[in-house]
Amino acid sequence: SPAVAVPQSMLGTGEHYALEVRGDSMIDAGINDGDVVVIRETSAAENGDIVVALVEDSEATLKRFRRRNGMIALEAANPAYETRMLRDDQVKVQGRLVGLIRTY
């Protein structure tokens, strides 16, 4: 895939990486299939953050993060997708969304 120039203003401090979005689960957050998101590496997330979460060490997914009743809810931004409720030990936050680059 082609390299993407990321504006320095998006980055701030820390390690960053870019991911190409697959699918439409975050479409209501303005994130479309084929967009490139800029992720800052972190294992911490606040309620409402859009994060890259590694689920059961196998599947990386971009979702909105919430803690709810001792569980972690990974919410899609598309009513066609159900919120996934997972135990703390099933989810590892890999990073937080800091920017979006639309590629046409």
Catalytic positions are: 25, 63
Q: Which of 87, 11, 39 is nearest to 63 (CA)?
A: 39
Q: Which of 56, 47, 50, 55 is nearest to 37 (CA)?
A: 50
